[in-house]
Structure 1
Amino acid sequence: MAAREASERNDHRQAAATILAELKQCEAVEPSRCALLLMWAGSETFQFDYQAAERLARRAVTLTGPPDGKSYPDRAHALDFLALTLGTQGRFVEAEAPRRAALALLEQNRPEADLRVADGYNQLAGVLDRLSRHSEAEVFLRRMLLLHERHRPPGHLLIAMSYNNLADNLASQARYVDAEPFYRKAMMLREQLSPSNPSALAASYEGLGRALINLSRADEAEPLLRRVIDIRIKTFEAEEYIVAWSYDNLAMLLENRGDFREAESLRRKSLEIQEANWPAGHLTIAAARSMLATNLDLQARYVEAEPLHLKAIAAYAAVTPDDAPAMADLYDSRAYNLEGQDRDEEAERFYRRSLRARATLPAAHPRRIFGYRSLAGYLRDHDRAWSEVRSLYRVAQAGVFDRLASYSSFDREAQIELRGYQPVFTGQVRAAWTLSNMPARP
């Protein structure tokens, strides 16, 4: 009772201390019956110390042991909580195994209509998305949508959530045309059914706004993204991390339009909020630093941006494999920063690291095409390795053709995207021309 009261007044340290004292007594009598206390203590500890919460989660996983049909709910809960503590620390590679184990228990022991099965698909998909394994994640998100459409009433809010999460996944695969109708379905349902839940509605506005930016429809995106900021400031405290994400989305639109100063102001607000909400070294802070650094680079303020780049890369490198796709944009931004400082050898190394980190992305993914294009452009601008330049542009071109083939028609969106890839084609022509005019080797 005392622990619950402490938790309700947000005194999570006192709540955790009270539960841990009770846990100690439980373990002295019958340790095998203490799993729920362990997880309760972990959930309170999670509010102020992720690593300590992880240790409690691991103890709960060990205590629940191999599931026997009766203990599986406790074990599934423990595995899910362990995955949550790992994911919150940015350790998504480690989080995948407990997420899969928890889902397997649910699939084996619960009917498909059970909400926990659908949520298991959603949670695993979230980990896979963070590992840039978006096509794998899509499979689980479509399973979740199918279960909710099959077992929930038409127009249920869980169906709206499923539409939105699937749209986010498709956007991560740069399938913005496919994502847009799912965002609009989610938005329509939420406007009809949950006007009293502005947070969910804001998520749909935000996702649709980002997709419209990538479809070169910024004029449609801007009012949506500004509405998201208004909603979230009214719904949450102005200093909540979710408000910071809203600033970042609007900043992206402004940077694309060339309004770097206004975007910088939003980037700085976002970083300040994230630093106040997360522990030092958290990946959310690192991402905010990287985005601010990129903004400064766009203003040719390379020296000012450099320490931000270094801190962001160090934070990600602490928990992310060196060649993971999550590192690619960090490397590319760092390369651009070094190139701006005329530190060309260092810049080339980072462009190459960026390309290697994109190797597991599909060949037609815009981020992979961008990697080939970035390295080719760097070598071209420095009049070096023209044979490699041509080869890089050729691979990029193949990716562009595969991507355009995914469009159902050569409509406005396809035409706009093709125009964006113009440097791939002109670069290849320039490389061929340069090579043909080089003097023959004796």
Structure 2
Amino acid sequence: MAATGDAVSPTAPSTVPGIAELGVTMQRAKDLDAAGYHKKAERWWREALQRRIALLGADVPDLAPAYERLASNLEAQGRWRDAERYRMNAVDVLENNKAADPAELGRQATRLSRNLEAQGRMAEAATVAYFAMSALCRSGTDTVDAAWGYNNVGAILSAQGKLVEAEPFYRRALEIRRQRLGAADVDTVTSFNNYGALLGRLGRVDQAVQMLRLAFEARERDNPVGDRAAESAVNLGITLDANGRAAEATPWLQKAAAIWRARKAEDDILGSDTALAVNLVHLGRAAEAEPALRRVLAVRREQQGEHAALTGQAWSNLGVTLDALGRHREALSAQDKALAIALGGGPTEMLRVADYRANRAACLNALGRKAQAIQEYRLALPIYTATLGAEAPRTQNARRGAAGEVQGINEDNPTRVILPAAR
């Protein structure tokens, strides 16, 4: 990986006072970041990087943490592209030095992959994630470091909708962590959450619920009003809701919503509002769900833009709700908007493409346009087969629809609630 960072002019002397000044500079940066003053902190992180280069030289592995801290600061400001060059520098100084710790190279590469993912560059993120996993496995394929690499690859594949491919990586990460760290360790609990959420999306409900309950109980013991407990609660609620157990899902979704509202976590509140509204649809209370989903759509359009993936999800959720209310033409229009957004997202959006085609097919069938509905199911079927597997409930529904058995599929087709990839 070629370095892409700025050239920095060394100014600090290689002396004990220079080291002391570096410590003072870093502490100022840390204090400002901790207080939320990220822009002010940036200046001090840049100065710390300059001093470290002057003291150590430009190509030593010990520079990686300095690049990493500046990158983290820039990401906190939402400047993902600016941060990318420093993430790349951190990887490069480790990759190009034979004495560098392979595990640290893997960790820095993992952070780079997540940066690329945040920019929507999923194919590049996946490539870097595999590179990171390879580095993390150099000291053994059954180590705690290796588990971190497996987990990150699983997360990237899951975010791409490649759930069948993601499953063995999440499973392997969990196996290693349980064996090496024990069931109560925070990383093992993270694997319970991640693997459970994935199994739920694959339709393996009983296994998913077991994993997610373990994750929630551990996280609730640690912090009953924390983000992690809310994450596991909402994953458990969505898993139950999407697999025909809507009544069981409601208290879990309400629990997560209460935590996030108390914490004033705006984006998470939107996600929980969506999940609760979808739950109302599945409970036969679509009229109550419509206003909430329209509010979510309005916020997504304003904050994310007309062509963002979350905006497309909001259109689709609203469309399924309108379809449940018998307003099939309005529903079809909403699904058309969702599908257009997903098709514009390239190959990483293919699972959503399949979901929106299946939802669109339900609208077409309700309007008496059976031939068009069958065609939509035929287009969705190979995507579902590749991403979810041949036995997944959504794949089976699409197979029925593609064969012309479209009656009743609408009732079995759950609305999609898309959450960020679990870590």
TM-score range, shorter chain: 0.7 to 0.9
Instruction: Tell me how far 1:351 sits from its aligned partner.
Output: 1.4
Report 1:55-204 matches (<5 A).
Answer: 55-60=39-44, 69-70=53-54, 74=66, 76-86=68-78, 94-95=79-80, 97-110=81-94, 111=97, 113=101, 116-130=104-118, 133-150=121-138, 152-153=139-140, 155-195=142-182, 198-204=185-191
C-alpha change, 1:363 and 1:83, in structure 2 (3 Å) is: closer
TM-score w.r.t. length of structure 2: 0.76
Instruction: Tell me how far 1:263 sits from its aligned partner.
Output: 0.8
Instruction: Tell me how far 1:206 sits from its aligned partner.
Output: 2.0
Q: Pick from 294, 297, 305: which aligns with 2:289?
A: 305
Cα deviation per residue 1:72-123 (whole Å; 9 max; x = unaligned)?
664552232121342xxxxxxx42x033111222134333636554333222
CA distance in 1, matches of 2:354, 2:289: 26
Cα deviation per residue 1:388-412 (whole Å; 9 max; x = unaligned)?
x63x7546524533664689xxxxx
C-alpha change, 1:340 and 1:220, in structure 2 (3 Å) is: closer
Q: Pick from 261, 270, 282: which aligns with 2:247?
A: 261
Cα deviation per residue 1:324-378 (whole Å; 9 max; x = unaligned)?
2232222111122233445555433321221112112428933211212222331
Count of aligned residue pairs for this structure pair: 373
- Structure 2 residue 35 is the aligned partner of structure 1 residue 45: yes
- Structure 2 residue 266 is the aligned partner of structure 1 residue 276: no
Instruction: Tell me how far 1:155 sits from its aligned partner.
Output: 3.1
2:399 is matched with which residue? 422
Cα deviation per residue 1:147-189 (whole Å; 9 max; x = unaligned)?
1112x45533121111112122223333333322222221221
8 Å CA contact 2:361, 2:376 repeated in 1: no
C-alpha change, 1:198 and 1:317, in structure 2 (3 Å) is: farther
CA distance in 1, matches of 2:380, 2:246: 31
* Mean Cα deviation higher: 195-204 or 107-116: 107-116
* Mean Cα deviation higher: 58-67 or 313-322: 58-67
The answer for unaligned runs of 5 or more in structure 1 is: 1-30, 47-52, 87-93, 408-412, 431-442
Cα deviation per residue 1:178-201 (whole Å; 9 max; x = unaligned)?
322222221221112212752211
CA distance in 2, matches of 1:35, 1:302: 56
1:36 is matched with which residue? 26
The answer for unaligned runs of 5 or more in structure 2 is: 1-20, 408-423
CA distance in 2, matches of 1:217, 1:169: 20
CA distance in 2, matches of 1:246, 1:119: 25
Q: Pick from 286, 294, 301: which aligns with 2:270?
A: 286
CA distance in 2, matches of 1:269, 1:289: 12
**Secondary structure of the structure 1 residue equivalent to 2:161:** coil
Letter in 2 for 1:224: M
1:216 is matched with which residue? 203
CA distance in 2, matches of 1:396, 1:69: 58
Instruction: Tell me how far 1:272 sits from its aligned partner.
Output: 0.8
CA distance in 2, matches of 1:321, 1:40: 33
Letter in 1 for 2:336: R
8 Å CA contact 2:71, 2:87 repeated in 1: no
C-alpha change, 1:153 and 1:346, in structure 2 (3 Å) is: same
Instruction: Tell me how far 1:218 sits from its aligned partner.
Output: 1.7
CA RMSD after TM alignment: 3.5
- Structure 2 residue 327 is the aligned partner of structure 1 residue 339: no
8 Å CA contact 2:91, 2:109 repeated in 1: no
Report 1:359-370 matches (<5 A).
Answer: 359=343, 360-362=345-347, 365-370=350-355
CA distance in 1, matches of 2:341, 2:404: 23
**Secondary structure of the structure 2 residue equivalent to 1:40:** helix
CA distance in 2, matches of 1:102, 1:109: 11
C-alpha change, 1:192 and 1:394, in structure 2 (3 Å) is: same
